[in-house]
Structure 1
């Protein structure tokens, strides 16, 4: 099923690319014919503007929703009709942690940024688990990319680590502290979660950027703007004191604001749940590299496979057994990862 989902994602991407450009190409080809029948240049320009600014974004949203719904349907059918998951021993890089609640060994290193100890999550008593006995250890300062087909459990994993979803079994720890049952203020001090749909509110640019760090000064805000490549947007809005009207920002601009806000967050752990999906590849790379330079730990649910290549390690979820390692290690060990990288790049992508 994981390979079917990977191929489904590839077909969805190809269909979106072809269908999204066909109306524009058709209009360009038809220009001489339309001009010969009295259509003015202004009318043609208006039609082209409508296609680019209104129809294509709507088509993109529709295709994305249909593709995600289809992927989730495949996952649900597999969990209903398919055999139970086959467990695989956790890799050395995700070794089982000591028993919960046990005291640290003398001279032990600082607690990892993230630990999952035999974590299982099921949406119902009889349902097949979305995650099954998952062990994971993410070191402080590490950059981890999470990869897998749509609907396989990547967002579920980020919600578990963020403490907004409780596991059915096992334990999730952040900075050595269990997250289940903690107050929102305690969780906010441990991690910052940036979802796919970025939250931007009416106020000034500075208010939006400093939302998670109210004591940030002008120099801090300027640094975030510079690091995330937000300068053109900030200048267009009138500077840090300029007004923000969320409805007037594109999806990509809202995501950049949310990422700059996360950059300023004092929390030691950043979780990006496809938080760069509306950015173009160059802007996505620039943002992820800036966030990786930020002191702390970065966990990214990858929207593009290039995110995995930039990470220190990659976690591949395929609905059966998780595989974790460097990009090169996972290429050798995970057929699904080889399929995914092949669909995106024609041949498995390797580090330069």
Structure 2
């Protein structure tokens, strides 16, 4: 997927990403963590083809991400969710070139956790006023829209930061369960890293890659980031990462 990728924002700037190699098989679930400002969003923009690496190659499914068909390869959900004035169905179908049945819309809403809002609004044909929605509600609409997209790779760049831990878990598990779908999450909670198959720690020019347990065992920066977090009774305690 990433072959010796490096990127800097200017010819005299320090690299944000340097010599990064990363291979994710179809169906993989990766959490990207690291201190604030280290380059996590830059990495997702590179993988999405929104930024061009200074060196190296990025491919999705063997195809270059900077090609004309990149919208078919990946869907990026940023922190600030985009919702337009119109019906809920119109908002949910924006990334689908083909007709989407009401049954498919309802199934996607149920999978991601949008159903309570959908019912409160009055169904998929109900009008949506973006200004009347909370940040979390807008994120749920954007997540369901992305879930409906055909793109095999989903990039969640703190796309659940306005959701509570339970809603975030439901959305992440829905994306991870898509048949053949690959999920990359910029994590802001420990639980996101624990749920992922693999974790990529970005820490300046140094990176670490492995499972959550492996990184806790061998990476001092990761242990510091995690901060010795221990679930409370029933697993309810889940502080945010210091990202």
TM-score if structure 1 supplies the norm length?
Answer: 0.64
User: Structure 1 CA distance, aligned partners of 2:65 and 2:109?
Assistant: 31
Structure 2 CA distance for aligned equivalents of residues 344 and 192 of structure 1: 31
Q: Which residue of 1 aligns with 2:172?
A: 288
SS of structure 1 residue aligned to 2:206: coil
1:273 pairs with one of 142, 157, 163 = 157
Displacement after TM superposition at 1:320 (Å): 2.5
8 A contact 1:120–1:132 mirrored in 2:
yes
- 2:203 is the alignment partner of 1:318: yes
Given that residues 154 and 301 in structure 1 are in contact (C-alpha distance below 8 angstroms), is that contact kept between their aligned partners in structure 2?
yes
Query: How far apart are the structure 2 equivalents of 1:116 and 1:190?
Result: 15
Which of 176, 179, 187 is the aligned partner of 1:302? 187
Poorly superposed stretches of 4+, deviation over 6 Å: none
Counterparts of 2:64 and 2:49, CA distance in 1: 9
- Please tell me whether the aligned partners of residues 271 and 299 of structure 1 are also in contact (alpha carbons under 8 angstroms): yes
Count of residue pairs the alignment pairs up: 231
Structure 1 counterpart of 2:224, from 310, 328, 339: 339
Aligned: 1:132 with 2:7: no
The separation in 2 between residues aligned to 1:346 and 1:243, in whole angstroms, is 41
Q: Deviations over 1:38-93 (max 9, x none)?
A: xxxxxxxxxxxxxxxxxxxxxxxxxxxxxxxxxxxxxxxxxxxxxxxxxxxxxxxx
Judge conservation of contact 1:190–1:269 (CA < 8 Å) in 2: yes
**Which has the larger strand fraction?**
2
**For 1:1-352, what aligned pairs fall within 5 Å after superposition?**
115-180=1-66, 182-183=67-68, 186-213=69-96, 214-295=98-179, 296-342=181-227, 344-345=229-230
**Bigger Rg, which one:** 1
Give the secondary structure class of the aligned counterpart of 2:156. Answer: strand
Indicate if the aligned counterparts of 1:323 and 1:333 stay in contact, CA closer than 8 A. no
What's the CA shift for 1:303?
1.5
> Which position in structure 2 is the counterpart of 1:41?
none
Q: Whole-Å Cα distance in 2 between the matches of residues 196 and 144 of structure 1?
A: 17
- Structure 2 stretches of 5 or more lacking a match? 236-243
CA–CA separation in structure 2 for the residues paired with 1:325 and 1:341 = 15
Q: 2: CA distance between counterparts of 1:255 and 1:310?
A: 20
Distance 1:283 1:125, change over 3 A: same
Please tell me whether the aligned partners of residues 193 and 272 of structure 1 are also in contact (alpha carbons under 8 angstroms): yes
Q: Which secondary structure does the structure 2 equivalent of 1:315 belong to?
A: strand
Q: Equivalent residue of 2:203, what SS?
A: coil
Contact 1:117 1:134 in 2 (8 A): yes
Partner of 2:238: none
1:73 maps to none
Could you tell me how far 1:333 is from its partner in structure 2?
A: 2.1
Partners of 1:165 and 1:323 lie apart in 2 by 23
